[in-house]
Amino acid sequence: MSVEQTMRDDWNRRAKEDAHYYVAFGRHEQDEDEFLATASDVLRGFDRELKRGLPGTNPRARRALEIGCGPGRLMKPLSQKFGEIHGVDVSDEMIALACERLRSIPHAHPHVGSGADLRQFADDSFDFIYSYAVFQHIPSKDVVLSYLHDAARVLKPGGLMRFQANNLTAARTAAETWHGCSMEAGEIRDFAALQGLRLLALEAVQTQYMWVTLRKPELIAKQASGTTRIRRITNSESSEPVAPNRGRYAAVSLWLEQLPADADLLQLDLRIGGKSARLTYLSAPEMDGLVQLNAVLPAGLATGLQPLELRFGGTLLGESSFRIIPAPPAVPRLVEAVDGLDYMSGTRIVSGSVKLFIEELFEPETLIATVDGQPAFEYSILCTDPMPPRHEINFRLPLDVGPGRKLLRLEAGRRLIGIVPIEITPQSIPEVK
């Protein structure tokens, strides 16, 4: 059976079982308002990228395309921003749900797709192409690249493409359509260069949710109108003129005046202390005309005032310096504790498992969880972001725990990470075999 047919069968089954759950992995049996609300953060991110501008001046003439539209969760709100919006999905069951959800929106058009390309659309058709949490569930890198190559074909000159891909090292290959495959950040850079696309964002590298923004160059290139200047340099997370040499805040933002109009993350090179920084985001011009360039500091920087150079295509654009300070001691922190499968149920445990999100715990395997003094079991650990660092830790409830209100105690070595009140429902009690 082909990869495309396997994906169609699997997603048809998931659509019949509980489409809302598999699309917005929050909890089972979400109602309509709850389901649509799960897209709020994604929509805010798209709004930020759309501020870069799209071809033409008439919003009603603009067309958008979603790859992996599912039951239309994102198409419905985004239909307000475009004169025409299309979505493709490999699952005909998902498309049937999308048609029902979008039936009152005449300019929204869901389509059953091939599962690997956009063959039903002509070249240079869309102003904005997007995809969210879709490529993570495609088990073939060839299929992902096929979609991306076809997206570049149907994107209009001057149009934007925004999508997610899995960049976790542990998921380079997979045979199951839920876990999918992983894409290297270098592969995305190579794809953009080969297609002649401008790379504007490469964020959340080494996570399951790496975000990418690309722009197809306009037919008539814009020209720079002056000399580039570095107006200021700050920490990316604050307005402070310093950054620690490691950890979550080891990133800088440059505010640039008169940056060449065709500059992107492929052609720009930022060196701090003689080492190349990893560029993550290039903004559209702000109200004052300045452009923001974000970068993660290179590893191993010495503390103190470090020289900084910015080059474009090998040409020096500007020089400055930036102060690097020692990183503060790591303080392990529990970010959230939720049910292992139904995230939206919070600390009401309904599945018999618990999911933790913990930051700055450098040895997550030392974590011990107990519920009213009874040890949990079957731990699994996944690094979801290497910078803080941030880990997702899952475990099963103790075998002899009963229902009701309990205290979940989390320790690592001699350090208490947290005590969390939880409620265990009767259906989550593990069966003793």
Residues 410-420 pLDDT 10s: 999 989 999 99
Q: Is 13 helix (H, G, I), strand (E, B) or coil?
A: helix
pLDDT value at residue 392:
95
Handedness of CA 192, 197, 199, 201 (dihedral sign): negative
Enumerate residue ranges in the chain where pLDDT < 50. Answer: 172, 433
Start and end residues for every CATH 2.60.40.10 domain found in the chain: 229-325
- Distance, in Å, from the CA atom of 96 to the CA atom of 337, rounded to the nearest integer, reads 35
What torsion, rounded to 10 degrees, do the Cα atoms 396, 401, 406, 408 define?
-40
The stretches of 278-322 forming alpha helices (DSSP H) are none
**How many whole angstroms separate alpha carbon 200 and alpha carbon 294?**
10
Own/partner pairs for 197-200, CB < 8 Å, 24+ apart? Answer: 197/152, 197/161, 198/262, 198/264, 198/266, 199/264, 199/265, 199/266, 200/52, 200/264, 200/265, 200/281, 200/282
In the chain, list all ranges with CATH 3.40.50.150: 3-215
Position 1, amino acid: M
Cβ pair 3, 144 in contact under 8 A? no
Give the pLDDT confidence score for residue 142 in this predicted structure: 94
In this structure, how many other beta carbons lie within 10 angstroms of the beta carbon of residue 374? 15
Please tell me the distance from the alpha carbon of residue 182 to that of residue 149, in angstroms, as a whole number. 17
User: 112 pairs with which residues across the strands?
Assistant: 89
Choose the CATH number for 333-428 among 2.60.40, 3.30.428, 1.20.1070, 1.10.540: 2.60.40
CATH superfamily, region 229-325: Immunoglobulins (2.60.40.10)
**β 415-424/348-349 pair status:** parallel
Phi/psi for 54 (5° steps) reads: -125, 165
CATH number of 3-215: 3.30.390.30, 3.40.50.150, 3.40.50.11540, 3.20.20.140?
3.40.50.150
The closest of 324, 295, 278 to 236, measured between CA atoms, is 295
Long-range contacts of 76-84 (CB under 8 A, 24+ apart): 76/36, 76/101, 76/102, 76/105, 76/108, 77/36, 77/39, 77/43, 78/43, 78/46, 79/105, 79/107, 79/108, 81/50, 82/107, 82/127, 82/128, 83/58, 83/59, 83/107, 84/109
389 cis-preceded (ω within 30 degrees of 0): yes
Q: Which of 15, 174, 171, 182 is nearest to 90 (CA)?
A: 15
Percentages helix, strand, coil for the chain (3-state, rounded to 5) are 25, 35, 40
Look at residue 75 and give its three-state secondary structure: helix
pLDDT at 59: 86
Q: Which among 185, 123, 115 has a CA at the least distance from the CA of 150? A: 123
CA 242 – CA 252 distance, rounded (Å): 8
Query: What would the two tokens of residue 159 be?
Result: 């149009």
- CA separation, residue 188 to residues 208, 232, 341 (Å): 15, 30, 31
Positive or negative, the Cα torsion across 70, 72, 77, 79? Answer: positive
Structure tokens at 419: 């005590």
